[in-house]
Structure 1
Amino acid sequence: MSVNIQMEFAVEMSCEACSDSITKVLKEKSVKVLDIDLDKQMVLVETNKPFQNIQETIESTGKRAALMGLGSSVGGKHLGAAVAEISGTKVRGVVRMLQLDEQNCLFEGTLDGLSPGEHGLNIHEFGDLSNGCVNCGEHYNPHGRQHGGRNKSERHVGDLGNISAEKNGRSVFRFVDDQVKVWDIIGRSMVVHEKADDLGQGQYDSSKQHGNSGQGLACGIVARSAGLMQNVKRVCACDGIVLWDERNVPAAGVERSQFMQKL
């Protein structure tokens, strides 16, 4: 299902030539530019492409960009958005979710460090990352159903099927799901597994529970995310990290403190 959404980016612009070059490269990629505000350093687009692709397109002009919010192109009130910062020993990435309407939720993400091929992706019941992905619990399954594929009626709500990684270890994916609701999964975890999920079609009994996709390689807590024009932050009040530098800094905890001490 191809669906357009609106994306708001904060972009480090300082002149009209900056905004003109960004408008040009986006239009060359068939991305609809809704607004560029030089004073607010904001770019608003409408597209059916993953956010990572749009960010990379903007940054091809030499200007740093950061996604600030997502919104449905259908209009009406904002129904919710979420983000999961996925991390493991080797795997890193981001998955974003946007509730398009009362029924459908958009997922799009970019993960790096995977082995080539398919990997199971699931929402698990607990947001406990105290021991890697071990304490995330079972698949989120509020209706007590058997495990299945994303497009099956008999499935856990948390069954998101498989994502595919290229030879370089990167997986870029985008799909719409009619079972997940953003408001139900905040605080739970998203886990990418070491092997392909058999979608409940395997020969072992465990197929009907977790799809035989192996251990969790990387995981992240599903956190509430901003909608369009809901996030005006440019500098972190706690330690002064500029918005465009955030991607290179640990999100919190000891690792962030250690990073700050090196500056």
Structure 2
Amino acid sequence: MATPTKVEFDVQMTCQSCASAVENALKGAEGVHSFSIDLPTEQVVVETTLPSAKVQELLESTGRRAVIKGMGQAHLGAAVSQMSGFGRSAVQGVVRFVQLSEKKVAIEGTIDGLTPGLHGLAVHELGDLSQGCDSCGDHFNPTNSCHGGPGDQERHVGDLGNVLADARGRAEFRMEDERLKVWDIIGRSLVVHSGKDDLGKGKDASSKQDGSAGPGLACGIVARSAGLFQNPKKICTCDGVSLWDERDVPLAGPGRRQQCSL
């Protein structure tokens, strides 16, 4: 059974009818276990087994903007990887890691620009993007094990299996893992691959090494992120962009002086 995660959002709410609209959007929604709404602080905390992007869609179905502020339990740790494609790849996404307990981590995210179908996802040992995904190294494998799937007894710690992209090229997913630990992967990288990971079940020798999922399409360094109630940001200190407008500004380039923390 999936373990619910608490996710903290800031939601644009200026009146009681705003709060009522948010309540109606969340009430009875499948995968939403409980929620609390604080109108004066514009804060909504949702306990859910849904990917945070799905909850954000529910909140924004009310016509109000919602921004994720934190996840999980503050003392256990959380991390995020903002993934970008290199070269001709237009794949991009955000994947979050939340330590639910000492033994279990939740991994959830959204990746866009994929071809429909299954794509291998893995934590790699190096946080080196100097040559794109080619410089991320091998799968994170501190136990020197053979490659496998998330449910296998023997596997790389970084083996996360496959994510399924729909007809739009979007993969939305949430999984739980008892091998991966947030504190072990900070500074490493997350890579989504061009093809399906065979989970170590292939016939050739490479199957036990990396699953033959093909080259990386997009990757990102795994960085520490805010846990629940740890992110008080309303204005981005690097360029003065407001919380609500931040999504409309490029993460880097001419439209922004400096990339901001997530």
Category of TM-score, reference length = shorter chain: over 0.9
The aligned residue for residue 250 of structure 1 is: 250
Paired letter, 2:123: I
Contact 1:193 1:216 in 2 (8 A): yes
The aligned residue for residue 35 of structure 1 is: 36
User: What per-residue deviation string (whole Å, max 9, x for no partner) do you get for residues 163-207 of structure 1?
Assistant: 111111111111111100000000100000000011111111111
Structure with higher helix content: 1
Deviation at 1:70, TM superposition (A): 0.9
Paired letter, 1:94: V
Instruction: Measure the CA separation in 2 of the matches of 1:167 and 1:34.
Output: 32
User: What per-residue deviation string (whole Å, max 9, x for no partner) do you get for residues 92-129 of structure 1?
Assistant: 11111111111111111111111011100000011111
Paired letter, 2:35: L
3-state SS of 2:255 partner? helix
Deviation at 1:33, TM superposition (A): 4.6
Instruction: Measure the CA separation in 1 of the matches of 2:256 and 2:223.
Output: 24
Contact 2:83 2:93 in 1 (8 A): yes
Match runs of 1:1-263 below 5 Å: 1-30=1-30, 31-71=32-72, 78-88=75-85, 89-252=89-252, 255=253, 258-260=254-256
Instruction: Measure the CA separation in 1 of the matches of 2:151 and 2:35.
Output: 33
Contact 1:120 1:163 in 2 (8 A): yes
Contact 1:196 1:213 in 2 (8 A): yes
TM-score (norm. length: structure 2)? 0.92
Instruction: Measure the CA separation in 2 of the matches of 1:246 and 1:153.
Output: 43
Instruction: Measure the CA separation in 2 of the matches of 1:123 and 1:97.
Output: 11
TM-score (norm. length: structure 1)? 0.92
The aligned residue for residue 260 of structure 2 is: none
User: What per-residue deviation string (whole Å, max 9, x for no partner) do you get for residues 223-244 of structure 1?
Assistant: 1111111100011111011122
Instruction: Measure the CA separation in 2 of the matches of 1:123 and 1:138.
Output: 9
Deviation at 1:260, TM superposition (A): 3.5
Deviation at 1:248, TM superposition (A): 3.2
Contact 1:23 1:33 in 2 (8 A): no
Greater mean alpha carbon deviation, residues 174-183 or residues 82-91 = 82-91
Contact 2:83 2:220 in 1 (8 A): yes
RMSD: 1.4
Greater mean alpha carbon deviation, residues 23-32 or residues 77-86 = 23-32
Deviation at 1:71, TM superposition (A): 1.8
Paired letter, 2:216: G
Paired letter, 1:84: S
Instruction: Measure the CA separation in 1 of the matches of 2:251 and 2:256.
Output: 12
Contact 1:114 1:170 in 2 (8 A): yes
Paired letter, 1:97: F
Instruction: Measure the CA separation in 1 of the matches of 2:75 and 2:231.
Output: 14
Instruction: Measure the CA separation in 2 of the matches of 1:150 and 1:250.
Output: 35
Gaps of 5+ in 2: 258-262
Instruction: Measure the CA separation in 1 of the matches of 2:47 and 2:208.
Output: 39
Instruction: Specify whether residues 32 and 155 from structure 1 end up closer, same or farther in structure 2 by C-alpha distance, changes over 3 A only.
Output: closer
Gaps of 5+ in 1: none
Greater mean alpha carbon deviation, residues 23-32 or residues 53-62 = 23-32
Instruction: Measure the CA separation in 2 of the matches of 1:246 and 1:183.
Output: 28
Greater mean alpha carbon deviation, residues 129-138 or residues 210-219 = 129-138
Deviation at 1:78, TM superposition (A): 2.6
Greater mean alpha carbon deviation, residues 191-200 or residues 237-246 = 237-246
Paired letter, 1:259: G
3-state SS of 1:244 partner? coil
